[in-house]
């Protein structure tokens, strides 16, 4: 969720970094003014400052699930870049003649893709960029993307290790029967013992054959 509000209140808790006098530029060409940037455990808030036209700056609140990328940018100017999967629309953007969507020169650009907006937060001191980036890392880590949480057991829950390659039938027998857990465990131990004995017998047979051949 992305919230733009004319009112501002300081985040009450979970502040990872608070930095005053941070300039916010949208899509590289729309200057929203200077305000305080709050990177918290729950969201990212920019507000409580002065807008480009001299009045109060708008308050922009970003929730971590809407932030698809964050990075430090050096060119064309230093700043902390946040890319959000939301098309930000503000009166200031229309007044500055930048309401049109940015042009993407990539041949693979798809007009049906989810709308995106690039926000560049520019601190007064470039040395603060690294701390801003680290605070974003910490906040983002508290809100992992559910799509990245893949259950490794989903594809093949019974083949998580080489032991099931040799004892797959044992596992299936125990699962399909109605025996108790104790009986199943005893049965598995017996089958493993039989398999081991069978292996030893095969090895002895092969050794005898080798002696005869010699």
Per residue of the chain (214 residues), give pLDDT as tens: 789 999 999 998 999 999 999 999 999 889 999 999 999 999 999 999 999 888 999 999 999 999 999 999 988 789 999 999 988 877 665 555 444 444 444 444 455 567 899 999 999 999 999 999 999 999 999 998 776 655 444 554 444 444 434 444 443 433 344 455 566 566 666 665 655 555 445 545 555 555 555 5
Q: Domain-by-domain residue ranges, the chain?
A: 2-145, 163-213
To 10 degrees, the CA torsion angle through 119, 124, 125, 128?
Answer: -40
Tokens of 53: 């036209």
Alpha carbon distance 192, 170 (integer Å): 8
Question: Kind of pairing, strands 15-26 and 30-40?
Answer: antiparallel
Give the predicted TM-score (pTM) of the model: 0.62
Alpha carbon distance 83, 121 (integer Å): 11
2-145 belongs to which CATH class?
A: mainly beta
């Amino acid at each position: 969720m992305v919230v733009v509000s004319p009112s501002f209140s300081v985040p009450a808790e979970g502040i990872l970094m608070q930095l005053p006098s941070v300039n916010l530029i949208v899509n590289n060409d729309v200057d929203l003014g200077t305000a305080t940037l709050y990177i918290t455990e729950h969201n990212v808030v920019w507000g409580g400052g002065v807008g480009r036209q001299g009045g109060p700056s708008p308050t922009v609140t970003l929730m971590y699930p809407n932030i698809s990328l964050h990075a430090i940018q050096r060119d064309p100017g230093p700043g902390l870049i946040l890319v959000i999967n939301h098309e930000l629309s503000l009166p200031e953007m229309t007044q500055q003649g930048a309401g049109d969507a940015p042009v993407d020169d990539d041949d693979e650009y798809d007009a049906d893709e989810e709308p995106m907006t690039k926000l560049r937060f520019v601190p007064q001191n470039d040395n603060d960029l690294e701390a801003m980036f680290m605070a974003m890392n910490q906040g983002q880590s508290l809100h992992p993307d559910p799509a990245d949480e893949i259950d490794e057991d989903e594809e093949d829950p019974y083949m998580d290790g080489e032991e099931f390659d040799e004892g797959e039938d044992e596992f299936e027998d125990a699962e399909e029967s109605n025996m108790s857990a104790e009986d199943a465990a005893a049965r598995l131990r017996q089958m493993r013992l039989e398999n081991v004995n069978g292996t030893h017998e095969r090895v002895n047979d092969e050794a005898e054959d080798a002696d005869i051949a010699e």
